[in-house]
Amino acid sequence: MKEIVTTSANFLALLEDGKLTPQLEIGITTSEVEYGLDYQGVTKSRACQTIRFSVDPERLRTMANGFIKFADDCDEEFEKVKGQLP
């Protein structure tokens, strides 16, 4: 499973139809363990990948609120299960 290594944001002002609109370029860099075989046996390395996308501030807020809901739901489910563990 990929792990988030770092994030970045560039703030832009786009000119569309003679009107300036705010825009963000978001970068998310992930890392994942990769295993392989060579003449010495099993090898282990990490592969990084960067995902870049452009979004307006309102859509970014909507996405962020969705992630907050995921986190809240995770906390709620964890509390249910935690009481059942030895």
d(CA 51, CA 3): 13
Enclosing domain of residue 67: 56-86
Residue pLDDT, tens place only, 57-71: 999 999 999 999 999
Whether residue 69 is found in the same domain as residue 50: no
Whether residue 34 is found in the same domain as residue 13: yes
CB-based contacts of 29: which residues, under 8 Å, 6+ apart?
Answer: 4, 5, 6, 7, 8, 48, 49, 50, 51
Q: What rounded mean pLDDT belongs to the chain? A: 93
- Cα-Cα end-to-end distance for the chain: 28
CB 45 within 8 A of CB 36: yes
pLDDT at residue 41, as a whole number: 92
Whether residue 86 is found in the same domain as residue 76: yes
d(CA 65, CA 58): 11
Query: Residue 3 corresponds to which tokens in the numbers above?
Result: 């792990």
Residue pLDDT, tens place only, 23-35: 999 999 999 999 9
pLDDT at residue 34, as a whole number: 92
Whether residue 46 is found in the same domain as residue 68: no
% the chain with pLDDT above 90 = 81
Domain count, the chain: 2
